Structure 1
């Protein structure tokens, strides 16, 4: 099978096509013929800094067709189903592959009415947003702020927070204000270093929690009430002022949360979540997709097709 990976870390140009043996699903696993794999910031970090032992393959989102079921695997999926999955990359095991074997818990049917490319934009980013909200554990009626709200994870966080009954205040550049409003944010404020001050103008006591999709870290703690919490998606774990707590999250901890991934599938079908694809690239153009993502300003996900 063809994979897109690298043997030495570096610029996007290190990404190249390799021919590797196709995997066989073991007990508890299923095999997916991948048709689409999303490109995420975690992929670019891996490519730029991971020293590989052999071929390293990025990619945390896969969508395609279920091709085989491992011996003794318990699943309601059947061969031929259109599916989507979250992948925890490890060495040559990554979503930028024509075929991938995964734990059955990491795979669900793709939402009805969308294609492989759209489905590939959902699992990792939506599960990250779900984990962020579960970690905050706010009650309906409380207020959550979201930075990076026009991005893929941030947009899902806005939509899921509204579905949870929360009040949402989000940031946006002028060009993205309409998008973020359509996603459901109750209050949209200009993005930037003064976001915390602008939040306090609207919410003098501060918001109950904040999901830091823009990775502003200490810069945005002022937006949160005394004793509130900030969700860090990049491992930031400093002691906050006024009892504000940073809570780092890592989506691999939800990689086998089958019920949560399937609930996201249902929310897409119900119109509560909107898959967003910025652009498609043939898998062989993965380097260009990485350059595009690292250039900034991408709204939605870039997706590789196989």
Structure 2
């Protein structure tokens, strides 16, 4: 089967098409085979490829296969899902030994999978799992009661857009930090107030924008990884959830600080895919490219060419 391998740490040019043996039933006890139709390119893929995650990978080194999000067709039956079922999910890449989803066939734990409704195509399904589940788990981690106010940074990004929608669905009042020009769209998604912040704005600019907040907020989900400059906008004893452990501020004024780590959740993903089919949850596919152009796909994601998730056709 064809895969896209990271041949060495470096830029997008290190991504190459290669051939590997197809997995067989029972190669990993308990896992089932999925023939992929689509896989998404995530920011974490770029960090792993560049070598920024090398210290965390221990003995794992190139060549390996990137990718977490996927959509495809079951080749083996799984509980409640016969062979032939259209499924989507994401693999916890760090636990797979470098066997990611830039491949024609993968082995997956059944609990990583959820059926794709008939009205959702493979590309839309592949754009959803990791980002939407992580955003949902971040909002859950905030633990705010309905009517509370939450500040969501990076609201124009993939995770941020999902977080806005999940928070609104929970009855939270959302203040969104997004890119200039996205005010209308984020308002349509349910944000009560949108504060435009230019991409890559320094902390002083962010702090200046926050001074226009009429009141401090009950919780913050920091999808943009701004960190400590946000704390001035948070009430005493508030809740701060970061999208990464790398940019967590120190706790102060009784504020609870933690980071979210997206984990597969079959029930939640099934619900989200059904919401996409019912037009109650909006996902955005920035572009669709063949697997053979994975290197170019990485270049485009690094350049921030278009908002949304870039999807590889397998």
TM-score of the aligned structures, taking structure 1 as reference length? 0.92
Q: Deviations over 1:88-113 (max 9, x none)?
A: 22334101110111000000111331
Residues 111, 269 of structure 1: 8 Å contact kept: yes
Matches of 2:31 and 2:166 in 1, distance apart?
Answer: 29
Matches of 1:197 and 1:228 in 2, distance apart?
Answer: 21
Matches of 2:280 and 2:150 in 1, distance apart?
Answer: 18
1:87 aligns with 2:95: no
1:63 aligns with 2:63: no
Specify the alignment match of 2:57 in structure 1: none
Change (3 A) 1:84 1:248: same
Residues 71, 123 of structure 2: 8 Å contact kept: yes
Alpha-carbon shift at residue 176 of structure 1 (Å): 1.6
1:234 aligns with 2:244: yes
Alpha-carbon shift at residue 172 of structure 1 (Å): 2.0
Count of aligned pairs: 298
Question: Match of 2:70, SS?
Answer: strand
Spell out the pairing of 1:219-258 with structure 2 (5 A cutoff): 219-235=229-245, 236-251=247-262, 254-255=263-264, 257-258=265-266
Alpha-carbon shift at residue 276 of structure 1 (Å): 0.7
Matches of 2:50 and 2:170 in 1, distance apart?
Answer: 37
TM-score of the aligned structures, taking structure 2 as reference length? 0.89
Alpha-carbon shift at residue 199 of structure 1 (Å): 4.1
Alpha-carbon shift at residue 224 of structure 1 (Å): 1.3
Matches of 1:180 and 1:100 in 2, distance apart?
Answer: 35
Matches of 1:108 and 1:203 in 2, distance apart?
Answer: 42
Matches of 2:91 and 2:243 in 1, distance apart?
Answer: 17
Q: Which runs of 5+ in 1 are unaligned?
A: none
Matching residue within 141, 146, 155 for 1:140: 146
Specify the alignment match of 2:82 in structure 1: 78
Q: Deviations over 1:183-217 (max 9, x none)?
A: 2111111224444554453332x111111111111
Matching residue within 263, 271, 275 for 1:263: 271
Calculate the aligned-residue CA RMSD, in Å.
1.7
Specify the alignment match of 2:116 in structure 1: 110
Matches of 2:118 and 2:283 in 1, distance apart?
Answer: 12
Matches of 1:304 and 1:135 in 2, distance apart?
Answer: 31
Specify the alignment match of 1:161 in structure 2: 167
Matches of 2:209 and 2:172 in 1, distance apart?
Answer: 19
Matches of 1:54 and 1:302 in 2, distance apart?
Answer: 23
Question: Match of 1:100, SS?
Answer: strand
Question: Match of 2:65, SS?
Answer: coil
Specify the alignment match of 2:224 in structure 1: 214
Q: Deviations over 1:219-263 (max 9, x none)?
A: 222221112122111213341332333211211xx22x2212222
Q: Which moved more, 1:100-109 or 1:90-99?
A: 90-99
Specify the alignment match of 2:192 in structure 1: 186
Matches of 1:196 and 1:112 in 2, distance apart?
Answer: 45
Matches of 2:231 and 2:207 in 1, distance apart?
Answer: 7
1:172 aligns with 2:174: no
Residues 114, 267 of structure 2: 8 Å contact kept: no
1:8 aligns with 2:8: yes
1:305 aligns with 2:313: yes
Residues 2, 19 of structure 2: 8 Å contact kept: yes
Matches of 1:227 and 1:161 in 2, distance apart?
Answer: 20
Specify the alignment match of 2:42 in structure 1: 40
Q: Which moved more, 1:24-33 or 1:214-223?
A: 24-33
